[in-house]
Chains A and B, each alone.
Chain A
Amino acid sequence: MDGSTVLRRKWFWPWQDEAEEAWLERLSSEEGLHLESVRFFNTYAFSRSGRLPYAYRLDYRRTSRKERETYRQLFRDAGWEHVGEMNGWQYFRKPVTPGESSEILTDRESKIEKYRRLSASYAFFCLFSMMFLARTITIGRGSPGNEPLIITWAALVLAFSVITFKIRSRIRRLRSGIRR
């Protein structure tokens, strides 16, 4: 049925952007589900239609309000429609046309830059949660009952460290040219 909104929830780690693109493209070509917007809690809103499939690309960029329109206009001029933004991830789509390039990042340097921006964000989140962990431990010394808080911050430190590490190893792979 045309026009109806279909919601799907799916979790992707920040280093799985290519898997996310592939998933969106599969839904577009196989199920006729075309991304309309991204919402909180990893919820994707699709419209169902029999139209031709889209290619999807994710860029990572936190732009200022002023820069946002310039950034999106550049993509629009190149045929890419901005369909959503989530935690700095910019979702773009373009109808698939055989024989035409559908890359938003066309060289290795700019791909590396994208993951460097991403890893900088997570390194910052990691530092931020480390500060809170340290603060919770020092302030709550001797007072019982703050273990859950300590565990939460410690878990966040761990998660952000792993994410940062995974993104950095992605950058190393790109640099070494094993994977483009």
Chain B
Amino acid sequence: MPTDKSISRYLPLTESTCCIMLALTLPLHGYGVMQRVEEVSGGEVRIGPGTLYGALQALEKEGLIVRAGEQDRRKSYVLTPVGREVLAAQIARLETIVKAGRSALGSA
């Protein structure tokens, strides 16, 4: 079980990385990630192929995602248990900020 410290060294995640990771709670290949991110963000976040390629490589190297298969030159990935924890920690962090933001703006 990783300690809090080993999780927090990945934080904060960039918006793109965070969105890629939340798309990868289910196994998906690259293009699937792009579509899913656009879909869940209501078109607000778009991830270009250059950004995605670099992010997938970095996440795999860090052990936050793992290869789940390969078909027709398309690699699919899924979150690892550590990746899931990192994502959960990031979401908790964002929740705190969102809450503080709502109350600061008087719309809580």
Q: Which A residues contact B (CB, under 8 angstroms)?
A: 57, 59, 61, 69-75, 77-78, 80, 101, 103-107, 109-110, 113-114
**Does the CB pair A74–B49 fall under 8 Å?**
yes
Q: How many residues of B contact A (CB 8 A)?
A: 20
Interface check B34, CB cutoff 8 A: yes
Q: Which residues of A contact B54 (CB under 8 A)?
A: 110, 113
**Does the CB pair B14–A78 fall under 8 Å?**
no
Q: Which residue of B lies closest to A58 (CB)?
A: B50
Q: Which residue of B lies closest to A60 (CB)?
A: B50
Instruction: Tell me whether chain B's interface is mostly helix, strand or loop, or mixed.
Output: helix
Q: Which residues of A contact B72 (CB under 8 A)?
A: 73
**Does the CB pair A110–B50 fall under 8 Å?**
yes
Q: Which B residues contact A (CB, under 8 angstroms)?
A: 14-16, 30-31, 34, 46-55, 72-75
**Does the CB pair A101–B46 fall under 8 Å?**
yes
**Does the CB pair A73–B73 fall under 8 Å?**
yes
**Does the CB pair B74–A70 fall under 8 Å?**
yes
Q: Give CA–CA (A167, B24) in the complex, Å.
A: 34
Q: Which residues of A contact B30 (CB under 8 A)?
A: 73-74, 77
